[in-house]
């Protein structure tokens, strides 16, 4: 059974990739709990806007720029957060990017870019913040993956691979750190508006991008809903947080009828998006 634990009344938190999308939504959800939030992003403008919104929502905000590709920068972020907050109750390893397209056409440069951010950025975040939590025997780690980490759609190999690795890392830490009073959850949403497609790389066709963007736009579950579900799931002690019904259905089908689901995925991202759009019309 999951072990339920509540975040402190005024959680001291760090959110990476907080300049927009889900990162901003997580920061605002924490602000509404009276949180003290280190808003971290690689770009100052978005981070400063998020910090302004956090303060308007009743929270405390500190901006610390960080490129999660650099281990030293993530450790510097942890030091800055400790200095500003005294300690960190929660780290949200949220920063992420997308690379998609036919496997044989994706460049090594794009592979390295997505691995460095989506996977190693999360690894560094856990390495940097876990020691303080272990010393205090208290803490929460939220790693943001994607339904792509459990449901591997064709023509998204780099993204799928990194998100699946984040799921595996979270599973491992959930088991390792449980007895030391540190909660670990991995968030696996499907489509919602984040701006990730605009910054994506790789040889993804305009048609595929359009289908994915439409599915994001029409989703009934958007960033604020995902953020609330993430924090609620973390407090309930859930390892896997799947805010969208379609993700839960696809994951169940994959586990119970793996070959049938593999055959379904042969239709690619356009077929998947078509199914999602039908359910959201």
CA distances from 43 to 18, 109, 163, 182, 233 (A): 10, 21, 23, 30, 29
Above 70 in pLDDT, residue 270? no
The percentage of the chain sitting over the pLDDT mark of 90, rounded to a whole number, equals 73
Q: Which of 139, 11, 30 is nearest to 85 (CA)?
A: 11
| Chain centroid offset of residue 174 CA | 16
* CB 129 within 8 Å of CB 141: yes
User: Per-residue pLDDT averaged across 110-132, rounded?
Assistant: 98
Please write down the long-range contacts of 260-265, taking CB distance under 8 Å and 24 or more positions apart.
Answer: 261/151, 265/151, 265/152, 265/153, 265/154
- The yes-or-no verdict on residue 165 having pLDDT over 50 is yes
pLDDT computed for residue 214 by the predictor: 54
Catalytic residue among 124, 129, 140, 159: 159
Euclidean distance between CA atoms 281 and 279, whole angstroms: 6
Give the residue, 251 or 205, on which the prediction is more confident: 251
Choose the CATH number for 12-207+221-244 among 3.90.1170.40, 3.40.50.300, 3.30.70.3450, 3.40.50.720. Answer: 3.40.50.720
Q: Which residue has the higher pLDDT, 112 or 277?
A: 112
Annotated catalytic residue 159: yes
How far, CA to CA in Å, does 19 sit from each of 52, 91, 186? 11, 15, 20
Is residue 266 very low, low, confident or very high in pLDDT (cuts 50, 70, 90)? confident
pLDDT, tens digit, 9 for 90 and up, residues 209-242:
555 555 555 556 689 999 999 999 999 999 999 9
pLDDT digits (tens, 9 = 90+) for 18-74: 999 999 999 999 999 999 999 999 999 999 999 999 999 999 999 999 999 999 999
């Amino acid at each position: 059974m999951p072990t339920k634990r509540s975040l402190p009344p005024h959680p001291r938190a760090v959110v990476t990739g907080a300049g927009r999308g889900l990162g901003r939504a997580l920061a605002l959800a924490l602000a509404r709990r009276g949180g003290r939030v280190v808003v971290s992003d690689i770009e100052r403008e978005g981070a400063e806007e998020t910090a302004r919104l956090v303060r308007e929502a009743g929270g405390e905000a500190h901006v610390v720029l960080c490129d999660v590709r650099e281990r030293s920068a993530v450790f510097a972020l942890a030091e800055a957060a400790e200095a500003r907050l005294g300690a960190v109750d929660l780290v949200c390893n949220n920063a992420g990017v997308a690379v998609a397209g036919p496997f044989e056409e994706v460049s090594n440069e794009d592979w390295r870019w997505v691995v460095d951010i989506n996977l190693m950025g999360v690894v560094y975040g856990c390495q940097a913040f876990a020691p303080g939590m272990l010393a205090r025997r208290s803490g929460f780690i939220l790693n943001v993956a994607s339904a792509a980490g459990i449901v591997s759609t064709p023509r998204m190999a780099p993204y799928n691979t990194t998100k699946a690795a984040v799921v595996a890392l979270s599973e491992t830490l959930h088991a390792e750190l449980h007895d030391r009073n540190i909660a670990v959850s991995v968030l696996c949403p499907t489509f919602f508006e984040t701006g990730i497609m605009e910054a994506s790389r790789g040889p993804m066709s305009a048609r595929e991008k359009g289908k994915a963007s439409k599915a994001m736009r029409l989703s009934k579950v958007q960033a604020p809903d995902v953020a609330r579900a993430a924090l609620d799931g973390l407090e309930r002690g859930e390892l896997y947080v799947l805010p969208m019904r379609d993700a839960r259905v696809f994951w169940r089908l994959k586990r119970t009828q793996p070959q049938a689901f593999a055959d379904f995925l042969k239709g690619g991202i356009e077929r998947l998006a078509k199914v999602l759009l039908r359910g959201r019309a």
